[in-house]
Amino acid sequence: MAFPTATRYLIVGAGIHGLSTAWHLAEELRRAGRGSGQDILVVDKSGIAAGASGIACGVIRNNYFQPAMRKLMAHSVSVWESDPQAFSYHPVGYMQISPEVMHEQVATIAAQQKEIGYESIFVEGEKDSKSYMRSLFEDWQAQGITSVLHEKKGGYANNQASIRGLARKAESAGVRILGGVRVTGFVKDNRGAVKTVTTDQGDIACECVIVGTGPWIKQIWDMLGLPAAITIKGRDGKLHENVPMWTFWSLQEGTLGVDPKLQRTNDGSMPPVLHVDTDATLYSDIDRSLITDRLWGIYYKPDFHFGGVQGGAMPFKVKADPAQVKIDPYGPASPDFVVGEDFARMWCSALAFCQKRFEGKHPQFKREPSGGIGSFTADNFPVFDRFCDNVYVIADSNHGYKMIGVGALVAGEICGRQSELLQPFRFSRFAEGKLHPTSNSPFPWS
């Protein structure tokens, strides 16, 4: 097929957001009698699932301290549930296991989950938390835990398989997906709207652009002429000037090469995804040396796709100037942003801290490149908004593999139906001081 020179809707990025938007937009246009998938072109500089969506751990949860995030995640979980097979979705549930410093905040999450009808069990107190955990895993031994939030929905999905499932849905709705096409710039009309997208394969005229470029968002943001630094009105009402719009965090993930069935529950079922935060001192499982005496956290799940028990720990902020950070080659191919022996030592010791079955398993950690970087906004929460009149930016601040439903809401907004769920994620929140509450969790994404 010839390279297209025009399309009504041009979507940049074939990850979770680009493809979910493509599929839902195609359905919206058809239902409204306003067009079809043939009006939509997705371009990607590499191909389907080449970015963060293709390497994500794949955890899907509701547990967020921010009410707006929780509502949005509940909507996305319903999209995952709409076709578990196509999305390679495993609805095993999710557990947030926390220390006293997080107890009160997690209690508010549990209360609000009840309000929005998101099924969960909340266990409080050290003794009850331990016996609840032991009713699932008889070898549970984590210290410093005083609450357990057990979400009955959510779980995880297989990264590449789910994105390919989405691509199939978009393509069967008539959408064209073109790999090997890198967007290099935007030509605007005299109103400031984008009329042509320039790529390394040729120019494409379009009526509307949708950007879902994950870790590469800063490059597109700069091409659109949007600000590299912004002013934020803080909670104290003061203006904080010159705050970088984008920062990078390095995600720390890996796999313990054991039989995934090792992590079955007492009754032989596949377990929920576990997320454990604690302020108990962590010592090495190898030589008992101190690893940390500060608040720390890990998450893990058995995963046949990764070939073991896979998960991660707290990410770290990339210190380099965001303009200088080398995103490519991305993910496991990066020479800079893959996990090292420090991560293996910490994560494997933390697994052993939580469950006896992982003691002495550190040598089985898979010494293969893993992890990757994510692009975060100035307040670490997503920006879903329109810019330059006809450009819709989906910048999930690295929260987003689980957010498969955002594409449905964005497609609705493009067709003129404003989404209440997306309102709290507008760019104007920074200047207006309408910031999301922050939690005591050691993770920037909770």
Binding region for ligand FAD (CB under 6 A): 12-18, 43-46, 50-53, 55-59, 182-183, 212-216, 219, 251, 253, 371-372, 374, 396, 398-402
**Measured distance CA(296)–CA(98) in Å, rounded:** 10
Least distance CB 45 / ligand FAD (angstroms): 4
Q: How far is the CB of 331 from ligand FAD (least distance, A)?
A: 7
Q: Determine the angle formed by the axes of helices 406-414 and 67-82, rounding to 10 degrees.
A: 100
Nearer to ligand FAD, 59 or 148 (CB): 59
Please identify, using beta-carbon distances, which residue of 146 and 263 lies nearer to ligand FAD.
263
**DSSP-assigned letter for residue 60:** E
Nearer Cβ to ligand FAD (18/424)? 18
Q: Which has the closest alpha carbon to 371: 334, 347, 348, 338? A: 338
| CB closer to ligand FAD out of 51 and 99 | 51
Q: Which is nearer to ligand FAD, 219 or 265 (CB)?
A: 219
Q: How far is the CB of 59 from ligand FAD (least distance, A)?
A: 4
Instruction: Give the torsion sign (CA, 326, 306, 396, 351).
Output: negative
Taking the complex as a whole, the smallest distance from the CB of residue 213 to ligand FAD amounts, in Å, to: 4
Contact 158, 87 (CB under 8 A): no
- Within 355-419, residue ranges assigned H as helices are 406-414
Query: What is the nearest approach in angstroms of ligand FAD to the Cβ of residue 37?
Result: 18
Nearer to ligand FAD, 57 or 313 (CB): 57
Are residues 420 and 68 in contact, defined by beta-carbon separation less than 8 angstroms? Answer: no
Q: What is the largest CA-CA distance in the chain?
A: 67
The minimum distance between CB 398 and ligand FAD, in angstroms, equals: 4
DSSP letters, 277-315, are EE-S-EE-TTT--EEESS-EEEEEEEETTTTEEEEEEEE
**Where would I find the H helices in 32-147?**
67-82, 100-115, 126-136
How many CA atoms within 13 Å lie on the side-chain side of 346? Answer: 23
What angle is formed at CA 255 by the lines to CA 349 and CA 120, rounded to 5 degrees?
80
Residues 401, 404, 406, 410, CA torsion sign: positive
Select 198 or 284, whichever has its Cβ closest to ligand FAD. 198
User: How far is the C-alpha of 355 from the C-alpha of 380, rounded, in Å?
Assistant: 31
Residue with smaller CB distance to ligand FAD, 13 or 99: 13
| Shortest Cβ 50–ligand FAD spacing (Å) | 4
Minimum gap (Å) between residue 215 Cβ and ligand FAD: 6
